Structure 1
Amino acid sequence: MFTVLPRLRKATLSLAALAAASLLAACDPVTTAGLGGASSNTGGPAIQAGAPVPVALLVPKSDSGAGPVAASLENAARLAMQDLDGVEIDLRVYDTAGQAAQASAVAQKAVDDGAKIILGPLFSEAANAAGAAVADEGVNVLSFSNTTAIAGGNVFILGPTFANTADRLMAHARKTGKKSIVIIYSNDVPGQFGKIAIEQAATVNGIQVVSSEAYELSIEGVTATAKRAAAAVTSGAADTIFITTEAANAAMPILLDQLPANGVTPGQIQLAGLTRFDVRPDLFANPGLQGVWFGVPDRSRQEAFNQRYTAAYGASPHPLAGLAFDGISAIGLLAKKGNSDALTGKSLTSASFTGTGGVFRLLKNGTNQRALAIASIQNNQMVILDPAPSSLSGAGF
């Protein structure tokens, strides 16, 4: 059980904190680099070596739409606890109902109950509110969100980001001799953030962005954009097209038809996607998709987790369940070192961890870096061109 540490409960957040929460909240698919808040604090509450580690899990249990996700996250967290050697996690689960106000309240209650770190919430607004509620007490929040706009201070995000994927793909492009790109993106918030992530990754990797082509979601809009992008690459100005569009988006089949129709020949012009194409095996036979690059987690680790979860609970895990497993694994690894400062911001950003999709680490700005493999579609099936690395180079700061 948590050790109850009596303290005066904060009645309200300041107007400034409420304003910040409103401005930073974003829908979870929105990700890009450089939008996080201040660098993560280096502090955090002390833990007692050898004693159970009080961890609060915040999930939307009573949210009718997200309840199944919450259950899968809790199951995965408990599965990870079974792997911890020499570390005991005292896990308590709190229901956010998917609401920011309730997330704020239960985050405060969890800390009042003795929690030394918070795992969750799921949604960005709830995670932002939870972090704000306990920031003055130095408790860190490992959110399941991938919204970089809320990252920073005492809030870390565990979800995969556009920036991480873009950088991995761009590094692969540079390694294979690519020099210039055209970006195709949807003219909406996720598309614009994806475009920014690609542009920043191109700059870091010394690759030129020839043009960025936006489309409105209509047959005419997507067709016109495909034609403009094709003109840029067929003229010789660029050798690669990066697309931000989700594989499940209605625009994707149109792009895959219209790009080849306008002279973008697979094998001559490289196509790269910021999102995963393995979620759409029905597109594998599309000629326009042949040879495409995209990033995926370590398949062997992902499959091992899925099989173990299914054996334990009789059903497949939700795609986000692995984030809870990763969070508990990271907490356990740090606590095992026996240091009282194991859960401070400094400790959280000083180590690499091995999760359900491979190696990952938390960065000082509150975002994360995950090792990804470069995958492609060849002969109507997914193949791995460049395996996920087993370690991450450079410092996590």
Structure 2
Amino acid sequence: MRQPSGGRHALGTGPAPRRGQTAWGGLIGVMLAAGLLSGCQTLSQDGTAPSGPEVSGPATTEPDRQVLTPPPAPAVVPVALLLPMSGPQAVTGARLQSAAYSALTPARAATMRLTVHDTGSTPDGARAAAQAAVAEGARLVLGPVYSVTAQAARPILSAAGIPVVALSNNRAVAGDGLFLLGHLPGNQAGALLDHAASQGHGRLVLVAPDSGYARLVADVARERAARGAVQLAEVRLFPPETDYNSQVEMVRGMARLDPTGVLMPTAGLPLAGLAALFDYYDKRAPRVRLMGTDLWHRPDTFKETSLRGAWYVSAIRPPSRDGPEAPGEAATAEDPATAPAPETRSEMDSEKDPEEVAAAEAAADEQGSLSDAPADTNAALDPQPDRRPAPISVGPSPLDRLVMDGVALAGAWARDARSGAGGTDPVSFLTDPAGFRGFSGVFRLLRSGLNERGLYILEVSPEGPVVVRPAPNEFIPGRPAREIVGPEDFPGRPWLVSEMNRAAPAPTPVDGEPPEDAISADGPASPMEQEPSSAEPGAADGCQWVRDCSDGPCKVKMVCPPST
């Protein structure tokens, strides 16, 4: 049976769960009566369309008091995913939906039913999506992507007692039941400055075009300086339209302060210009370290010779410098097509969402500078025509990894809730102080709604990022983070096997396909919805990338078996 057209798509197995008396059972009844679920159906395992969540009558309690108890965990837990499937951000939403599908393994689909609701890339659409999630009985909500829509959905979901795991990195919307999965610049700056101080680079200057993102990083630097962890000689946040001659005079003055570290929370052309000026005034590694956040994790950073030896932070481990991660998968430069489109800015308010605006502008700049001339990009990195660009990362983009982590978190909680191992309260599960290890590394969610991540300190080199300090693998000594990804996620993902430091799994035959409604309740998934192949071109016909150092400088090239 096909699902009627509507604003949602369901994933997972099993019928809609029976819900008992809850503190907001009456609210669900009102919404059902208002028709919020009209035109929305999910398929049960026997192919029939259930009428929707059932609401029991008032519970009978003692005359003088009412007893409220957490709802029991159903066999299949309903989880909502709020994405911009229409509007300016529809391309990003479709990509994230595909990433979420790829993380919904048969084992996770057996414990959770994931339903996608369209935010329409607007606050009003986010509110409607949140109301639909409440009406369907969702126990946990993943998304929205950006803080503008997250802020709009939060009051509705908070009133219903449903925790939210948003993909935003704007700390202004955290709290009141909303947890951020996004990479927070404050955490990155703190980790970088602590490492710099421990290595003798604690006398700092900070310079960047003025932006909300840069101001957040500057606040962290001032806080570290107030604690005595570093010495902050000067902070210069200048208007983006500042002319070149004025920037020359500014950098000259900062160079005279004799810093041992220069923190530059920017990327793209502004970063290249500032780095070149500090290099001109002999402020270069190893005596002086230029430093930045994960805004630097982009191919053009490694084209800029004045950034060689600079340090930056990232939650994702870079690929091995000894060659491809595994047969059939090469270490590749990050594809600008995976970055948010330039129109990302249209959904975000620069006053309310400074962190996302800066990241979006950097991604847009990267997309415009790289996608039009890939041949020139490769030539700038290495004149040899068959040499691949500097390896930045393998696997999905950071944003894709976040939504995959959300699905993995929901699956782990649903499994615990059904087994009784961890209770039915999702907040207690989400805020486990030991944290989790997922598709985007080690992280933990705090009761405040913020997060902490295990971060790598990386050095810029012509061959790509080099690990200077590995990311911590635990937050509590002696208590490793819980792994929410495992062997079921390894097939087709050699990059994940490598990042988890596991042996590659042996190929095993698949006993059967997952139920049809584990992927979509409306027939086969569209090409946009299908799980993207993780293999490099040529992997399917036996080709693989190999490192060849037989005739001079090492090269990474594709080797294929003889054609039959």
Same-fold status (TM-score > 0.5): yes
Match in the other structure for 2:85? 61
CA deviations 1:172-222 (Å, max 9, x no partner) are 113323332111132222221221133334556721222111222232343
CA contact (8 A) 2:193 2:202 kept: no
Please tell me whether residue 222 in structure 1 is matched to residue 247 in structure 2. yes
Please tell me whether residue 243 in structure 1 is matched to residue 264 in structure 2. yes
Q: Give the alignment partner of residue 348 of structure 1, picking from 414, 420, 430.
A: 430
Bigger relative CO (Cα 8 Å, ≥ 6 apart): 1
Please tell me whether residue 279 in structure 1 is matched to residue 358 in structure 2. no
Q: CA deviation at 1:323?
A: 0.9
Identify the range of structure 1 (178-187 vs 153-162) with the bigger mean alpha-carbon deviation.
178-187
CA contact (8 A) 1:230 1:262 kept: yes
Match in the other structure for 1:381? 464
Distance 1:177 1:204, change over 3 A: same
Please tell me whether residue 327 in structure 1 is matched to residue 406 in structure 2. yes
- Amino acid of the structure 1 residue aligned with 2:245: E
Indicate the percent of aligned positions where both proteins have the same amino acid. Answer: 27
Pairing of 1:193-342 with structure 2 (within 5 A): 193-203=216-226, 206-217=229-240, 218=242, 219-232=244-257, 234=258, 238-245=259-266, 247-248=267-268, 250-280=269-299, 282-299=300-317, 317-338=396-417, 339=420, 341-342=423-424
Distance 1:284 1:392, change over 3 A: same
Pairing of 1:1-397 with structure 2 (within 5 A): 1-3=15-17, 6-9=28-31, 46=70, 48-49=72-73, 51-63=75-87, 65-82=88-105, 84=107, 88-203=111-226, 206-217=229-240, 218=242, 219-232=244-257, 234=258, 238-245=259-266, 247-248=267-268, 250-280=269-299, 282-299=300-317, 317-338=396-417, 339=420, 341-350=423-432, 351-379=434-462, 381-393=464-476
- Amino acid of the structure 2 residue aligned with 1:293: W
Counterpart CA distance in 2 for 1:290 and 1:83 is 45
Distance 1:294 1:283, change over 3 A: closer
CA contact (8 A) 1:360 1:369 kept: yes
Q: CA deviation at 1:225?
A: 3.0
- Amino acid of the structure 2 residue aligned with 1:268: R
Counterpart CA distance in 1 for 2:207 and 2:296 is 16
TM-score by length of 2: 0.57
Identify the range of structure 1 (128-137 vs 45-54) with the bigger mean alpha-carbon deviation.
45-54
Counterpart CA distance in 2 for 1:46 and 1:2 is 18
Counterpart CA distance in 2 for 1:283 and 1:162 is 18
Q: CA deviation at 1:2?
A: 3.4
CA contact (8 A) 1:301 1:356 kept: no
1:347 partner SS = helix
CA contact (8 A) 1:72 1:318 kept: no
CA contact (8 A) 1:81 1:89 kept: no
Counterpart CA distance in 2 for 1:392 and 1:271 is 28
Counterpart CA distance in 1 for 2:227 and 2:75 is 44
1:7 partner SS = helix
Counterpart CA distance in 1 for 2:444 and 2:250 is 37
Identify the range of structure 1 (376-385 vs 54-63) with the bigger mean alpha-carbon deviation.
376-385
Identify the range of structure 1 (384-393 vs 352-361) with the bigger mean alpha-carbon deviation.
384-393
**Count, aligned residues:** 349
Counterpart CA distance in 2 for 1:205 and 1:86 is 50
Counterpart CA distance in 2 for 1:203 and 1:342 is 43
CA contact (8 A) 1:215 1:225 kept: no
Distance 1:225 1:331, change over 3 A: farther
Distance 1:150 1:71, change over 3 A: same
CA contact (8 A) 1:116 1:139 kept: yes
Q: CA deviation at 1:345?
A: 2.5
Counterpart CA distance in 1 for 2:97 and 2:225 is 38
Distance 1:381 1:77, change over 3 A: closer
Distance 1:362 1:97, change over 3 A: same
Q: CA deviation at 1:165?
A: 0.7
Counterpart CA distance in 2 for 1:193 and 1:174 is 20
Distance 1:284 1:317, change over 3 A: closer
Distance 1:83 1:164, change over 3 A: farther
Structure 1 portions without partners, runs of 5+: 11-44, 308-314
Counterpart CA distance in 2 for 1:2 and 1:223 is 64
2:29 partner SS = coil
Q: CA deviation at 1:261?
A: 1.6
CA contact (8 A) 2:221 2:232 kept: no
CA contact (8 A) 1:99 1:126 kept: yes
CA deviations 1:41-90 (Å, max 9, x no partner) are xxxx9464461111000000012x32221122122222222074695210
Counterpart CA distance in 1 for 2:71 and 2:107 is 17
CA contact (8 A) 1:151 1:365 kept: yes
Structure 2 portions without partners, runs of 5+: 1-14, 20-24, 33-68, 330-337, 339-394, 482-564
CA contact (8 A) 2:111 2:415 kept: no
- Amino acid of the structure 1 residue aligned with 2:260: D
- Amino acid of the structure 2 residue aligned with 1:294: Y
Q: CA deviation at 1:289?
A: 0.5
CA contact (8 A) 2:200 2:260 kept: no
CA contact (8 A) 2:309 2:459 kept: yes
Distance 1:104 1:345, change over 3 A: same
1:211 partner SS = strand
Q: RMSD in angstroms over aligned alpha carbons?
A: 3.2
1:323 partner SS = helix
Counterpart CA distance in 2 for 1:348 and 1:367 is 12
